[in-house]
Structure 1
Amino acid sequence: MTQSLLAHLQHGLVRIATISPRVLASPPAQPRRASVALILRIRPAAEDEVWLRSKWRNGEALEEDAHLFPSMMQQDANGTMSTEARLRHFFTLPWVQRGTPELLFIKRAVRMNDNWSSHVAFPGGRRDEEDENGLYTAMRETWEEVGIDLAEKDFLHVGHLEDREITSSLGKRLLMILSPHVFVQLSPFSPPPSLQPSEVATVLWVPLSRLFTPTPAWGTIHLDIARHTPRHSLLRRFLRLVVGRMTFRCILLPNAPTAMTLIDAAEVLPDVPVPAAPVDDDDDVTKLLTQAERQYVAEHTEPLQLWGLTLGMTLDFLAHMATYQMHQAPEEALTMRALRRVLSHTPSSWLLGSPQRSLLARKAPSIVEVFPRFSYPDINFWIWVFGWRYRAIQRKWEQSMGTEMERRAHWSGLALAAFYSCVRRALILTTLLRCLGLASLLSPTVLPTPTNAEGLWVHPVKRARHTVQSMSIEDMVTLVTGSGYGHGPCVGNIQAIPSIDFPGLCLQDGPASLRGVDYLTAFPPGITVVGTFSKELMRRRGTAMQRARKDHTAINWSFDDFDYANAQKVASYSDVAMVFVTSFSGEGYGSVPVVKPVDTAANIGDRNNLALWNGGEKLIKEVAAVNNNTIVVIHAEWIEHPNVTAVPWAHMPGSESGTAVENVLYGEYNPSGRLPYTNAKKRSDYPADVLYNADVPHPQSNFTEGLFVDYRHFDAQPTEPRFEFGFGLSYTHFHYAALDVECLGEYGPDWNHKWGHHAAPHGLPSWLFEDAVRVSFTVRNTGAKDRREVPQVYLGFPPHSGEPPKVLRAFDRVWIPRNHTVHIHHILSYYDLSVWNETHQQWRRSPGPYEIFVGASSRDIRLRHSFL
């Protein structure tokens, strides 16, 4: 197979070198041009690499070994060797015949507002005014982007493929003319690349056998065409509504790069640190990957997608490798059949009605491979209807092949123009039909509720109805009412109903996972070192002790909750005093030992206060009185004490609670947790209080606070909390900027008309959960440490909607290296923007302006933006 592939590669390169390509002149209205470099090499086989390296030193070979390296042979007896002669000599070398042909690709760096961001491409770029020609542009851009000097004698410029027109998404506007140039590396060893981080993320050599094969790994890419239009919200919504998505064919390539930038390598390789500071294009930030690292990246990342313009140029190059003689060698005939299988079901075949085995598909595969489909079937249908002009151009093209007319006309440009003309006509007609209401097949559907008893729900609904009909009123009440530990094995229970064979439910267990542990063998809630029988745990304890000795860390303790004198003694000669306190939310059984003083939290039954247990509040005050660096793990009234310098809020501790607190206090881990509730300064600040004494056996709560609970209540009242909802500290600082709110939905700023005069069904319509607004902003780590931030997005409803001042709608936990900026996007649906209207019985939009708040907590708002 390798010999056959090399034969076809030689055939294709000779064709490119001997056939003059078509050169397109730039129109006066659009003079911009660009060039790219298709670089091929032959990677020596493993058995050849050792002896080749022994004869190849510092890019030079001995005179007696020059015949092994074509880059050392520049002339024959009659003068300079022709490109064709050098190619034929190159493919006769033994190490070439046993080698593997590969093609160089790059993955573009991630850049904002760049249509080529993260794309798989060939090195190249736009032509500068001082560039002599397109060849010079390709060589200059390759040197700037990947550090490969194509002017060296190790590279041979074979020729270039036909110029290509780069147009806008719908082919209406010419952007530039592109010239693809083909190079062959004559030496067995490639120079190490040096990447420009602002342009290139990775470099990879792809075996040609993965492309010139009957079974390439085909995939699809879905493109939102509205993203590639001018920044006008109405135009974007219109295109997204009419066009939907475009689907392109792509070839999946293994992501096994030869070189990466240090930033990209740090994201996928476990042992690569992130660069300490922002890098310039002149800095050397390239990491050359070993074979093991390449395999690791390929196994832990998604395949790369070769599509669009780069796929078209790749297929045009492969078309030169195929032969069309009637009598071919067996392996050549096999390759021809394979190529026809690859191109037998091209997009032009199933979209524009082209013959599947047309000569055009073999001569110019990029023209038939890069055509997209659309997500709406009616658009595809009308493109096929209007495709008669494209099919006529294709027939004329095939009739002109082999004649002088083939070279005169720019057939590929005519075919592309005809295709996009079909697209524009189809879009216009589809828009008119939809305005007349003839596109009902594309209207959103309402999800059926289980009560419809259709499909898989038939048997469950029937069984549920039978069960309910056989239940008494008492059974129904029991099924939906919880009971305490006296009516079951657990702390909270749903009692059993024997009449319907319902065994009951256990809603809350005790700390040992079982309420009653008599005659049971269960692990205790607190695990000790001996209980684990783990030598590894003991070894890690010894390691921690050694570290404490090197850090000059000495730990003193006082475990008695009520021995305040000893606690003060220990704290007085310590640099840092950590006080651990707790308070359960449930019943106070055993909260105070009998031999100790009566605690203010002691009670039998439900709690009657918010105080800490076991004298915790007094213990904190006693310790803080003698140590000015007291750290308390939780909070209460002692927070006002000036000597309390930090409050790590540990919540429910687990087996690694001590390790977690240590890592945070020593700065090894950034405490990126956020409070999911508000801490008030006074008990009276909360919107509701505990009912301590009831005059009736079964008191009733009317929930008069409504929606104004927690932070919503504090925002609505002039009440300053101690720690607000979403609050949390960090060891670094973050800067928020560039807030952008973009309306995405197709129903405009008012979607109430979508309901009509009908109340909301049991199963809400699917359109209510479609994308309505995109919130975008940036967060930059301006501190000195790599840390995580939790940006929060709050929504403010119109003032007269009756809603709280703002409600949390989105958040994320984002890793941000120091001096780096991360772009964050959140999507809000129509449901997120709606308010329940009791009169209409619908989720509706409130009249008036909405407001987006972005910040680090419910009170720490950094950005805000109003929209209609």
Structure 2
Amino acid sequence: MTIEPARDIDSFFAQHWVKHGEAEVLFIKRAARKGDRWTSHVALPGGRRDPEDESDQKTAVREAVEEVGIELSDRTSIAVGNLPQRVVTTSWGRVPLMVLCPYVFLVTRHDLQPLRLQPTEVASTHWVPIRSLLDPGQRTVHLEDVSNRLAKQETGLKRWAFAGMLGQMEFSAIELLPAESVYCQEPPTDDSKKSESSTLGMAMQRLWNFVDPPELQPPPQQQPLILWGLTLGVVADLLDLLPPHNALELWSYPTFTMPDVRLIIWLSTYKFRKSKRLQLEAGNLSMPPLVKEGLDAISPPEGERNDDVGMGGLGSGRSLKGRSFESAVGTMLEGYYACMRKGVTYALIVRAIGLAATVNWLWSLTRTPRHSHSPSR
């Protein structure tokens, strides 16, 4: 029985299988690649725009076909809208890498062809129910060792101090519970190094596998799938469009694991965090920020904003006086890392004072004269 694809959101949600189904989001786990800053991370399908792509949305459509084998056409999906753009940078906002343009597509068929994973890009795919993304029981934290990265950006005593005091950085995260997973069966290969002989060898190997197919082995025991950082921010933007519009509960402000640094950062950012919370409650959202790898946020340059943001038919989320949808998580982060860096500086000063006091106390102990007692006659 052939099912006619839905042409709009109303006809899609009127279908029986949709009414009695469960909405899911497709995530990928990136392939392990040397030199990739996001190697093995949980992410969303996507990639860089090619010169031949007519638009950013066309790039999203092409990448979906190449990475996971989903054809986002009128027969299979509805282009619902896009989320706030973000500029991904390195060196704590100093060097821009790319502009991230998230687009959302609603898959309108339950009889899609099996996913085809691109081995060089995708290790596995995971359909995750939205209900589990909103489950408080799935909230966790992700620890990232950023001290070495920060230390490389400094010199002299400051570099040594950063490397020794910061340790791990703590980010809010979600442990994903997939309803369905697909694992790549082919090892990743470097297309740039292929030759005619290697292509022939691969063809012969496939022929041999066809004649005498190996017994399929179940995927190895996987580590927990952790959603965090920039991808969590994008997902939070999506979930914030859905009632009860509480995407901020998905995360907390990043901090460090060392107790003294953690306390000083909490104290130094208290007023900032309180003002941001009041700002959101009052609806006074800033324009979409530029975000650094899920770590940092900076103000967008004048003239480089894209206000054409929205999710037609799925809700309005957070908006200000009829303006387009804004990133709640991005708004909360904007300016936070400047305050946090001050907190790290304060913690460094406190540690230096404590170390100096301890050294001075030990020195005073060694300089204290000892009184000798001679026996009385």
Common fold: TM-score over 0.5:
yes
Which structure would you say has the larger RCO, counting Cα contacts within 8 Å and 6 or more residues apart? Answer: 2
The 3 A distance-change label for structure 1 pair 403 and 124 is closer
Secondary structure of 1:321 counterpart: coil
Q: Distance in 2 between matches of 1:412 and 1:210?
A: 19
Correspondence 1:245 to 2:140: no
The 1:423/1:406 distance shift into structure 2, 3 A limit, reads: farther
Partner of 1:226: 147
- How many Å separate the matches in 2 of 1:261 and 1:218? 30
Q: Render the CA deviation track for 1:665-717: whole Å, top value 9, x for unaligned.
A: xxxxxxxxxxxxxxxxxxxxxxxxxxxxxxxxxxxxxxxxxxxxxxxxxxxxx
Q: Distance in 2 between matches of 1:206 and 1:194?
A: 18
Does 2:75 align with 1:153? yes
For the residue of structure 2 that corresponds to 1:156, the secondary structure is strand
Mean Cα deviation higher: 164-173 or 379-388: 164-173
What SS does structure 1 have at the residue aligned with 2:350? helix
> What's the counterpart of residue 43 of structure 2?
121
Structure 1 residues 221-261: Cα deviation after superposition (integer angstroms, max 9, x where no partner) = 21100354586796875433132110122222247622423
Cα distance in 2, alignment partners of residues 210 and 254 from structure 1: 7
Question: Match for 2:275 among 377, 392, 403?
Answer: 392
Aligned to 2:265: 383
Q: Which amino acid aligns with 2:187?
A: I
In structure 2, what residue type is equivalent to 1:381? L
Q: Secondary structure at the match of 1:128?
A: coil
What is the aligned partner in structure 2 of residue 550 from structure 1?
none
* Inter-partner Cα distance in structure 2 for 1:378 and 1:406: 42
State the structure with more CA Rg: 1
For 2:48, the aligned partner's letter is R
Match of 2:115 among 179, 185, 193: 193
Partner of 1:426: 343
Letter in 2 for 1:375: T
Structure 1 residues 310 and 411: alpha-carbon distance in aligned structure 2, compared to 1, 3 A threshold? closer
Residue-by-residue CA offset, 1:444-466 (whole Å, 9 max, x unaligned)? xxxxxxxxxxxxxxxxxxxxxxx
Query: How many residues get paired?
Result: 303
Match of 2:185 among 261, 265, 268: 261
Cα distance in structure 1, aligned partners of 2:15 and 2:321: 37
| Counterparts of 2:159 and 2:71, CA distance in 1 | 43
Q: Distance in 2 between matches of 1:438 and 1:309?
A: 37
Structure 1 ranges of 4+ moved more than 6 A = 232-236, 277-280, 282-285, 408-411
Does structure 2 conserve the Cα–Cα contact (< 8 Å) formed by 1:69 and 1:186?
Answer: no
Q: Does 1:166 align with 2:48?
A: no
Give TM-score, length-normalised by structure 1.
Answer: 0.32
Report deviation, 1:197: 1.6
Q: For each residue in 1:639-669, what CA deviation from the matched residue of structure 2 results, as whole angstroms up to 9, or x when unmatched?
A: xxxxxxxxxxxxxxxxxxxxxxxxxxxxxxx
Given that 2:76 and 2:109 are in contact with CA atoms closer than 8 Å, whether structure 1 keeps it comes out as yes
Which residue identity does 1:90 align to in structure 2?
Answer: F
Match of 2:225 in 1: 304
Runs of 5+ unmatched residues, structure 2: 189-196, 207-215, 285-318, 360-365, 367-377
1:217 aligned residue (134, 138, 146): 138
Q: Deviation of residue 157 (structure 1)?
A: 0.7
Partners in 1 of 2:139 and 2:356 — Cα distance? Answer: 32
Cα displacement (A) at 1:433: 2.6
How far did 1:438 drift?
4.9
Percent identity between matched residues is 32
Matches within 5 A, 1:651-670: none
Q: Classify the secondary structure of the residue corresponding to 1:198.
A: coil
Partner Cα separation in structure 2 for residue 181 and residue 315 of structure 1: 14
Partner SS, residue 184 of structure 2: strand
In the TM superposition, residue 427 of structure 1 has moved relative to its aligned partner by 1.5
* Contact 1:226–1:236, Cα closer than 8 Å, also in 2: no
Residue number in structure 2 paired with 1:371: 253
**Counterpart amino acid of residue 250 in structure 1:** A
**Counterpart in the other structure of 2:4:** 69
Partners of 1:182 and 1:154 in 2: how far apart?
Answer: 13
Q: How many angstroms apart in 1 are the aligned matches of 2:115 and 2:234?
A: 23
Question: Partner of 1:209: helix, strand, or coil?
Answer: helix
Residue matched to 2:98? 176
Shift in Å, 1:109: 0.6
Match of 1:317 among 229, 238, 244: 238
- Amino acid across the alignment from 1:261: Q
- Secondary structure of 2:23's partner? strand
Alignment correspondent of 1:547: none
Give CA-to-partner distance per residue, 1:824-850, whole Å, 9 cap, x none.
Answer: xxxxxxxxxxxxxxxxxxxxxxxxxxx
User: C-alpha offsets along residues 611-639 of structure 1, whole Å, 9 cap, x if unaligned?
Assistant: xxxxxxxxxxxxxxxxxxxxxxxxxxxxx
Query: Residue deviations 1:470-493, cap 9 Å, x none?
Result: xxxxxxxxxxxxxxxxxxxxxxxx
Structure 1 position 304, deviation (Å): 1.1
2:126 to 189, 198, 204: 204
The alpha-carbon distance between structure 1 residues 233 and 433, as it changes in their structure 2 partners (threshold 3 A), is closer
When normalised by structure 2's length, the TM-score is 0.68
Relative to structure 1, the CA distance from residue 405 to residue 94 in structure 2 (aligned partners, 3 Å threshold; closer, same or farther) is: closer
CA separation in 1, counterparts of 2:251 and 2:47? 24
The reply to whether residue 435 of structure 1 matches residue 335 of structure 2 is no
Q: CA–CA distance in 2 between the matches of 1:279 and 1:207?
A: 40
CA contact (8 A) 2:69 2:115 kept: yes
Deviations 1:692-747 (A, max 9, x none): xxxxxxxxxxxxxxxxxxxxxxxxxxxxxxxxxxxxxxxxxxxxxxxxxxxxxxxx
- CA deviation digits over 1:374-418, x for unaligned, max 9? 112222223223322343243233223564297598875553232
Distance in 1 (CA, whole Å) between partners of 2:326 and 2:78 is 30
Q: Does the 8 A contact of 2:56 with 2:101 survive in 1?
A: yes
CA distance in 2: counterparts of 1:378 and 1:104, whole angstroms:
39
Specify the alignment match of 2:293 in structure 1.
none
CA contact (8 A) 2:139 2:172 kept: yes
Distance 2:326 2:40 in 1: 35
- The letter of the residue matching 1:150 is L
